[in-house]
Protein backbone atom coordinates (compact mmCIF):
# COMPACT_ATOMS: atom_id res chain seq x y z
CA UNK A 1 0.00 0.00 0.00
CA UNK A 2 2.82 2.43 0.82
CA UNK A 3 5.74 0.92 -1.08
CA UNK A 4 7.88 0.32 2.01
CA UNK A 5 9.89 -2.74 3.00
CA UNK A 6 9.22 -2.74 6.75
CA UNK A 7 6.08 -1.80 8.70
CA UNK A 8 7.92 0.91 10.62
CA UNK A 9 6.78 4.55 10.65
CA UNK A 10 8.87 7.39 12.00
CA UNK A 11 6.74 9.36 14.44
CA UNK A 12 5.96 12.80 13.03
CA UNK A 13 7.60 14.65 15.92
CA UNK A 14 7.41 18.44 15.69
CA UNK A 15 10.86 20.07 15.47
CA UNK A 16 12.55 16.64 15.32
CA UNK A 17 11.27 14.69 12.30
CA UNK A 18 12.99 16.75 9.63
CA UNK A 19 14.58 15.89 6.27
CA UNK A 20 17.77 14.13 7.50
CA UNK A 21 15.90 11.75 9.84
CA UNK A 22 12.89 11.33 7.51
CA UNK A 23 15.04 10.47 4.50
CA UNK A 24 17.21 8.06 6.54
CA UNK A 25 14.17 6.11 7.77
CA UNK A 26 12.68 5.96 4.26
CA UNK A 27 16.01 4.96 2.69
CA UNK A 28 16.28 2.13 5.23
CA UNK A 29 12.91 0.71 4.14
CA UNK A 30 10.58 2.25 6.70
CA UNK A 31 8.37 5.29 6.25
CA UNK A 32 9.84 8.62 7.25
CA UNK A 33 7.26 11.18 8.32
CA UNK A 34 7.89 14.92 8.53
CA UNK A 35 6.59 16.48 11.75
CA UNK A 36 4.81 19.63 10.57
CA UNK A 37 3.50 20.83 13.94
CA UNK A 38 4.28 24.53 14.31
CA UNK A 39 5.85 24.64 10.85
CA UNK A 40 4.93 27.53 8.54
CA UNK A 41 3.61 26.30 5.17
CA UNK A 42 6.64 27.58 3.21
CA UNK A 43 8.99 25.74 5.56
CA UNK A 44 6.93 22.56 5.14
CA UNK A 45 7.16 22.86 1.35
CA UNK A 46 10.93 23.33 1.60
CA UNK A 47 11.26 20.35 3.96
CA UNK A 48 9.35 18.13 1.53
CA UNK A 49 11.73 19.18 -1.25
CA UNK A 50 14.76 18.46 0.95
CA UNK A 51 13.50 14.93 1.61
CA UNK A 52 12.98 14.40 -2.12
CA UNK A 53 16.56 15.52 -2.77
CA UNK A 54 17.83 13.03 -0.18
CA UNK A 55 15.81 9.92 -1.13
CA UNK A 56 13.53 8.60 -3.82
CA UNK A 57 11.68 6.41 -1.32
CA UNK A 58 8.12 7.11 -0.08
CA UNK A 59 7.62 9.40 2.91
CA UNK A 60 4.76 11.21 4.58
CA UNK A 61 3.79 14.26 6.59
CA UNK A 62 2.19 14.37 10.02
CA UNK A 63 -0.49 17.07 10.21
CA UNK A 64 -1.39 18.44 13.64
CA UNK A 65 -4.98 19.47 13.05
CA UNK A 66 -4.98 22.08 15.82
CA UNK A 67 -2.15 23.99 14.11
CA UNK A 68 -3.28 27.51 13.15
CA UNK A 69 -1.77 26.96 9.67
CA UNK A 70 -3.48 23.61 9.06
CA UNK A 71 -5.46 24.63 5.98
CA UNK A 72 -2.33 26.02 4.30
CA UNK A 73 -0.32 22.95 5.36
CA UNK A 74 -2.94 20.69 3.76
CA UNK A 75 -2.62 22.69 0.53
CA UNK A 76 1.17 22.19 0.60
CA UNK A 77 0.70 18.43 1.07
CA UNK A 78 -1.86 18.29 -1.75
CA UNK A 79 0.42 20.22 -4.10
CA UNK A 80 3.45 18.10 -3.18
CA UNK A 81 1.63 14.78 -3.54
CA UNK A 82 3.42 12.98 -0.71
CA UNK A 83 2.71 9.26 -0.25
CA UNK A 84 0.69 9.59 2.93
CA UNK A 85 -0.25 11.69 5.92
CA UNK A 86 -0.77 10.89 9.54
CA UNK A 87 -2.98 13.19 11.56
CA UNK A 88 -3.30 14.02 15.21
CA UNK A 89 -4.90 16.45 17.64
CA UNK A 90 -8.20 16.75 15.83
CA UNK A 91 -10.64 15.25 13.36
CA UNK A 92 -9.28 14.92 9.79
CA UNK A 93 -12.66 14.01 8.24
CA UNK A 94 -12.99 17.29 6.32
CA UNK A 95 -9.65 16.66 4.57
CA UNK A 96 -9.94 12.94 3.81
CA UNK A 97 -11.74 13.16 0.46
CA UNK A 98 -9.37 15.82 -0.90
CA UNK A 99 -6.28 13.87 0.17
CA UNK A 100 -7.57 10.60 -1.25
CA UNK A 101 -8.53 12.30 -4.53
CA UNK A 102 -4.81 13.09 -4.97
CA UNK A 103 -3.79 9.51 -4.17
CA UNK A 104 -2.50 10.43 -0.71
CA UNK A 105 -3.10 7.74 1.91
CA UNK A 106 -4.38 8.91 5.29
CA UNK A 107 -3.60 7.26 8.61
CA UNK A 108 -5.12 9.09 11.60
CA UNK A 109 -3.33 8.59 14.92
CA UNK A 110 -5.95 7.52 17.45
CA UNK A 111 -5.84 6.99 21.22
CA UNK A 112 -9.19 5.17 21.50
CA UNK A 113 -11.30 2.52 19.79
CA UNK A 114 -14.26 4.86 19.25
CA UNK A 115 -12.08 7.28 17.30
CA UNK A 116 -10.59 4.43 15.25
CA UNK A 117 -14.10 3.33 14.26
CA UNK A 118 -15.08 6.90 13.36
CA UNK A 119 -11.96 7.34 11.21
CA UNK A 120 -12.53 4.01 9.43
CA UNK A 121 -16.09 5.08 8.62
CA UNK A 122 -14.77 8.45 7.36
CA UNK A 123 -12.56 6.63 4.84
CA UNK A 124 -9.12 6.42 6.46
CA UNK A 125 -6.73 4.07 4.67
CA UNK A 126 -5.19 2.89 7.93
CA UNK A 127 -5.10 3.64 11.63
CA UNK A 128 -2.14 4.31 13.92
CA UNK A 129 -3.13 3.20 17.43
CA UNK A 130 -1.20 5.26 19.97
CA UNK A 131 -1.17 4.24 23.61
CA UNK A 132 -0.62 6.35 26.69
CA UNK A 133 3.10 5.57 26.77
CA UNK A 134 3.58 7.40 23.47
CA UNK A 135 4.57 11.03 23.23
CA UNK A 136 2.26 13.76 22.07
CA UNK A 137 -1.53 13.72 22.28
CA UNK A 138 -2.40 10.42 23.93
CA UNK A 139 -5.29 8.62 25.55
CA UNK A 140 -5.73 6.59 28.70
CA UNK A 141 -4.82 3.02 27.69
CA UNK A 142 -1.53 1.39 26.72
CA UNK A 143 -0.68 0.38 23.17
CA UNK A 144 -0.66 -3.27 24.30
CA UNK A 145 -4.33 -2.93 25.29
CA UNK A 146 -5.42 -0.59 22.47
CA UNK A 147 -4.06 -2.40 19.39
CA UNK A 148 -6.05 -5.65 19.80
CA UNK A 149 -9.22 -3.63 20.39
CA UNK A 150 -8.71 -1.55 17.26
pLDDT tens string 16-60 = 888 999 999 999 999 999 999 999 999 999 999 999 999 999 999
Please give the DSSP secondary-structure letter assigned to residue 9. B
- What integer pLDDT is reported at residue 90 of this predicted model? 86
- What integer pLDDT is reported at residue 85 of this predicted model? 97
Of 133, 128, 132, nearest in space to 147 by CA: 128
Provide, rounded to the nearest whole percent, the portion of the chain with pLDDT above 70.
Answer: 98
- What integer pLDDT is reported at residue 138 of this predicted model? 64
Q: How confident is the model at residue 133 (pLDDT cuts 50, 70, 90)?
A: confident
Mean pLDDT computed over every residue of the chain: 92
| CA separation for the pair 119, 28 (Å, rounded) | 29
| CA separation for the pair 48, 93 (Å, rounded) | 23
Of 122, 120, 123, 124, nearest in space to 150 by CA: 120
Q: Which of 7-16, 57-66, 137-146 has the lowest mean pLDDT?
A: 137-146
- What integer pLDDT is reported at residue 137 of this predicted model? 63
Decide yes or no: CATH 3.20.20.70 for domain 19-149.
yes
Give CA 40 to chain center in angstroms: 17
Q: Are 119 and 129 in contact (CB under 8 A)?
A: no
Q: How confident is the model at residue 127 (pLDDT cuts 50, 70, 90)?
A: very high
The strand ranges marked E within the chain are 32-35, 59-64, 84-88, 105-110, 128-129
Terminal alpha carbon distance of the chain: 19
Q: Are 44 and 36 in contact (CB under 8 A)?
A: yes
Residue 134 scores a pLDDT above 80: no
Q: Are 40 and 65 in contact (CB under 8 A)?
A: no
Tens digit of pLDDT for each residue in 64-90?
Answer: 999 999 999 999 999 999 999 999 888
- What integer pLDDT is reported at residue 84 of this predicted model? 94
Amino acid sequence: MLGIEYPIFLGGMAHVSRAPLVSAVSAAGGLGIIGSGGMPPDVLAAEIEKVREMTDRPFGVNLMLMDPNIDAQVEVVLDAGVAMVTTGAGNPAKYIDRLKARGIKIFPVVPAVALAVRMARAGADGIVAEGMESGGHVGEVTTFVLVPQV
